[in-house]
Structure 1
Amino acid sequence: MKHPILTLAAGVAAVGLSGGLMSSPATAQDTQEIRWATSSVGSAGHRALVSLSQILNSNMDEISITVMPTPGAAASVRGFSAGQFDGYYGADVAFHEIAGDTGRYEGFEPGENELTQSFWAYTLEMGLGVRAEDIGEYEGWRSLSGRPVFTSPAPWDTRAALERAMNALEVGHEYVELDTGLTAQSLQNGTVDAFSIYTAGEASASPWVQEALMSTDVHVLNPSDEEIQELADAGIQVVRISADAYDNAIGADEVVAVPFYYGFHVGMNVDADTVYRMLEVVEENVDELVAADPGLSQLQDDLVGMQVRGIESIGDAAPIHPGLARFLQDRDAWNEDWDDRIAE
């Protein structure tokens, strides 16, 4: 049987290489091919990496990135660790699971590529939507107790992050696995009573979420004030997302959502100078990048701060790539307490 990751790679989104900023053009032998894994086509992660790759390929002769969709970020992490990919899509929740040997990564054995953090791109903000006609039945997230809920595909970090918050509230829902393209139909026919509605960078809903919102009437289900306080007591942050980010009516002015940090990372297979230059290129072209994908707008507001907050979000769960470390040191944003966390 074909490996699912390699089978999906046949549908890869390859991004072309064009002129760069180096003083002398790189030869074909000098160009490092980077097979960069992300989530599936139609996800926020796939959309973001396509935009990021276009910027990097257009401004760096020394690399050539090919975007590799996989069933989810967890598949990209495992594939990178095993040497199938040269870059991966990783979230703070995944690093914590790996470090703690819990959740989707219980029993995970690291492979030939060490997992390091090299670029934090945005937060994803997890909320919940229900059938609009049923909103009167709910008082908060605990009202979903015993009900079927699609919190995102099973391998995805989005599901892990949302389930972590729901478990903190002891919601006791029934998880239902779906193809994302069937979400609207499944909500309409009662297969599920709720599904995750999430944004990237507090600015743009995931493509499959937008599709579901266009296909059926959805009302946001926000946690109650009591539940919001309980999440805070459990160390889980919430943010308030304007309804404008969803491009569709959601029955309220805002969504109360749980954020977590996402990044596009490489390991020591890519040297410090190249990672440093990648970050410089993103910094120099951030307006163009955000124009291509509004979900990356947090980089436009504070690219350096996003790197700092991403590092803080995982503690010592993963080493820091030396290219990222030098980038922050040069911008007076490095914390000396992190010195012993730089990958060698």
Structure 2
Amino acid sequence: MPDRSSNRRTFLKVTAVTGTVGVAGCIGDEDVDPDEEDPLDEDGDEADANGEPDEDREHHIDVGTSAGGTMDVGLAVEQGVAEESDTLSYSTVESPGYVGSTYRMNEDAFDAAFIDTNTMNKAQEGLDMFEEDPVDQLPWQGMLAFPYSIYMMARDGTGIETFDDLAGASVYPAEPGYSTRATTLDVFEQDPIADVYDEMDIVDMDVADAPGAMEEERIDAAIAYGTPGIGNTGWVVEYDARVDVHYVEHTDALIEAIEQFPGAGLSIYDDNPGEEFAWDQDIDTDEIAAWDLNVTVATHPETPDEAIYELCRVGAEHGDTIRNAEERFTPENAEDLLQGALDDYPFHPGAAEFYQDEGVWDDDWVVGDRDEVGEYFD
């Protein structure tokens, strides 16, 4: 991964891209039960997209997209492609979360999908749900769509000042089933901070109930997360309005844990981080260290190279068009599409060609070979 730096938008980004004529078409009859939900779905937004292939364009891709905020970003990308490409058409297809999208694309249900890099890493390593139910092929990397930066907050009056103080505290890592929770607990399980995690009292409840539980002092500390430069997610905004909180100071051990976990990126925000995440109160810090859940557009291996190349071009050159429809799409150029890329994990060859042409490719990265689709597992 790229080295972290200290600036206003030092967040790690990735994405994978989408797909092709005829690989997937439509979602089939298989019933895939995802093990976790889209972390952006907590606000309950729902959207339907009925994009039809444009017969005047050379390539068409169907893109699996979770409901809620992810759907908002997906529809914005669809709009950007419609306005800025003469060769590619794009249809949004609702899909059941990031894990469910991984399984559906494995069954050739569509050409690309919004999937977070932690889920992709687990699929490659056969961890968690993929240990008992592995996929036959990985979704290949394409381009970043948006990051969620995750960090720790504590109620005032708890005596919690640093990450080490979370030992023995009641800690809320988001609702069971959320990818933000899964990524947080994966980070906490890393050796440098596992001893602190072992002593935490982990709280399980719906995100809708968490602000009230914090107000009632049943939760000492909770994660916060949001898109940098835009703000926190809805339930965090609610506890910001109801409870006096402060940032839990990161330790060197926490930084080390984030850096060594391959499913998350490290970001340091040191230019007015309270404003970066739109806090409505003084959170008592000049610097936030966050672990990032990077949501990407990942591709089916058989999606035509030309289609993925064009998708990446639109993302890199016309991000403003996409952001006019949904501001959470964060990449502003080709390099942004790559930040946070997974090492030793295949890129779609169409994406790789685009990044090579733009001069932002790292020769240590892996270009997927369609003759070796099943060979990229650890």
> Do these two structures clear the TM 0.5 threshold for a shared fold by scoring above it?
yes
**CA spacing shift, 1:270–1:340, aligned 2, 3 Å:** closer
Structure 2's unaligned 5+ residue stretches are: 1-30, 39-44, 372-378
CA distance in 2, matches of 1:94, 1:294: 24
Task: For residues 249-293 of structure 1, give each alpha carbon's deviation from its aligned partner in whole angstroms, at most 9, with x where no partner exists.
Answer: 252354332234331112134311111111122223212323444
Task: For residues 63-113 of structure 1, give each alpha carbon's deviation from its aligned partner in whole angstroms, at most 9, with x where no partner exists.
Answer: 23225253x4223222332344443222332222222222343223215x6
The one of the two structures with greater contact order (alpha-carbon pairs below 8 A, sep at least 6) is 2
| Count of residues paired in the alignment | 320
Aligned match of 1:288 in 321, 328, 342?
A: 321
TM-score (ref. length: structure 2): 0.71
Q: Aligned residue for 1:187?
A: 214
Contact 1:325–1:342, Cα closer than 8 Å, also in 2: no
What is the root-mean-square deviation of aligned Cα atoms in Å? 3.4
CA distance in 2, matches of 1:179, 1:128: 18
Q: Aligned residue for 1:127?
A: 151
Q: Aligned residue for 1:174?
A: 201
Shift in Å, 1:185: 1.9
Contact 2:49–2:75, Cα closer than 8 Å, also in 1: yes
- Give matches, 1:208-227, under 5 Å: 208-227=234-253
2:272 is the alignment partner of 1:244: no
Task: For residues 193-224 of structure 1, give each alpha carbon's deviation from its aligned partner in whole angstroms, at most 9, with x where no partner exists.
Answer: 32221122x22234324542454224233234
Tell me the SS of whatever aligns to 2:132.
coil
Give the partner amino acid of 1:278.
Answer: L
Shift in Å, 1:118: 1.4
Contact 1:125–1:258, Cα closer than 8 Å, also in 2: yes
Q: Aligned residue for 1:163?
A: 185
Tell me the SS of whatever aligns to 1:79.
helix
Shift in Å, 1:244: 1.0
Shift in Å, 1:52: 2.0
Shift in Å, 1:315: 1.3
Contact 1:12–1:69, Cα closer than 8 Å, also in 2: no
Give the partner amino acid of 1:221.
Answer: Y
Shift in Å, 1:16: 6.1
Shift in Å, 1:238: 4.4
Q: Aligned residue for 1:105?
A: 130
Task: For residues 281-307 of structure 1, give each alpha carbon's deviation from its aligned partner in whole angstroms, at most 9, with x where no partner exists.
Answer: 22232123234444333x12xx32234
What stretches of structure 1 move > 6 A for 4+ residues in a row?
Answer: 28-31
Contact 1:152–1:195, Cα closer than 8 Å, also in 2: yes
Contact 1:328–1:334, Cα closer than 8 Å, also in 2: yes
- Give matches, 1:263-278, under 5 Å: 263-278=296-311
Tell me the SS of whatever aligns to 2:339.
helix
Give the partner amino acid of 1:274.
Answer: A
Task: For residues 155-194 of structure 1, give each alpha carbon's deviation from its aligned partner in whole angstroms, at most 9, with x where no partner exists.
Answer: 3332233223322312222333333333312322344332
CA distance in 2, matches of 1:191, 1:89: 35
- Give matches, 1:293-304, under 5 Å: 293-297=326-330, 299-300=331-332, 303-304=333-334
Structure 1's unaligned 5+ residue stretches are: 19-24
Q: Aligned residue for 2:42?
A: none
Q: Aligned residue for 1:22?
A: none
Contact 1:129–1:218, Cα closer than 8 Å, also in 2: no
CA distance in 1, matches of 2:164, 2:240: 26
Tell me the SS of whatever aligns to 1:310.
coil
CA distance in 2, matches of 1:15, 1:54: 11
Give the partner amino acid of 2:266.
Answer: Q
CA distance in 1, matches of 2:281, 2:72: 23
CA distance in 1, matches of 2:211, 2:102: 29
Aligned-pair identity (%): 15
Higher helix content, 1 or 2: 1
TM-score (ref. length: structure 1): 0.77
Q: Aligned residue for 1:261?
A: 294
Contact 1:57–1:64, Cα closer than 8 Å, also in 2: yes
- Give matches, 1:1-344, under 5 Å: 13-15=47-49, 26-27=54-55, 32=60, 34-38=62-66, 40-41=67-68, 43=69, 45-60=70-85, 62-68=88-94, 70=96, 72-111=97-136, 114-131=138-155, 133-135=156-158, 137-168=159-190, 169-170=193-194, 171-172=196-197, 173-200=200-227, 202-228=228-254, 230-231=256-257, 234=260, 237-240=266-269, 242-247=273-278, 248-249=280-281, 251-254=283-286, 255-297=288-330, 299-300=331-332, 303-311=333-341, 314-316=342-344, 318-338=345-365, 341-343=368-370
Shift in Å, 1:117: 0.9
Give the partner amino acid of 2:79.
Answer: Q
| Worse-superposed segment, 120-129 or 212-221 | 212-221
CA distance in 2, matches of 1:31, 1:340: 21
Task: For residues 41-80 of structure 1, give each alpha carbon's deviation from its aligned partner in whole angstroms, at most 9, with x where no partner exists.
Answer: 2x4x34432322221234447423225253x422322233
